[in-house]
Amino acid sequence: MPPDRRPRLAVTAALAAGITLAWLAAVTQLVAFIPREKKRFDEHGVQFPGLAKAVYEVGNAIAGHEWLMLSSIACLILWGGVLTYFTRHRVRSVPVRLLGLLIALGPPVLVNGVILLTLLLLEVKYREVRGG
C-alpha cells in the first residue's frame, strides 16, 4: 500500500462488525435452532444423526452457562476487532494482512458453516422420514 493511502477506519469497523455478527449468528443457531430440531426429532421418535448430536451437545453446554457464553463471545469479538485493526492499520505486508484477516474471519465462518450443514442435514433427514 502506498504511504499516502491509509486504510479507512470505516472498512475496519465493517470487518469487525462482520466478525461480531458471525459469532452472534453461530451462538444463536446453537442455542435456539438446534434444540428446536432435537425436539422435533424426539416428537417423531427419529434418532438424531451423529454430527447433529455433537453440535447439540456443544449448544447445550453453552446454553447452560450464560455468563461463560457472554464472556466468551465478548472475547472472540474483541479478538477479531483487535486483530482486524492491527492487520489493516499497522502491518504493511500484504501476505501478513491476508493471514491476519483469515485468522480473524476464518473461525466464525467455519463454525457457521458446520452449524448450517448440520441444520441442512437435519432438514433432509426429517423430510426423508416424514415423507418416506
Task: Determine the pLDDT at residue 11.
Answer: 86
Let me know if residue 108 belongs to a domain: yes
Domain range holding 63?
Answer: 9-124
Contacts of 121 (CB under 8 A, 6+ apart): 49, 51, 52
| Residue 20 falls inside a structural domain | yes
Residue 3 lies in a domain: no
Q: For 100-122, give the DSSP string.
A: HHHHHHHHHHHHHHHHHHHHHHH
Q: What is the pLDDT of residues 61-102, one digit of tens each?
A: 888 888 888 888 888 888 888 888 888 888 888 898 888 888
Q: Please count the structural domains in the chain.
A: 1
Q: Is 41 within a domain? A: yes
pTM, two decimal places: 0.78
Average pLDDT, the chain: 86
Given a cut of 90, is residue 10 above it in pLDDT? no
Say what the pLDDT of residue 114 is: 93
Residue 117 maps to a domain: yes
Q: Is residue 89 part of a domain?
A: yes
- Closest among 26, 51, 25, 27 to 38, alpha carbons compared: 51
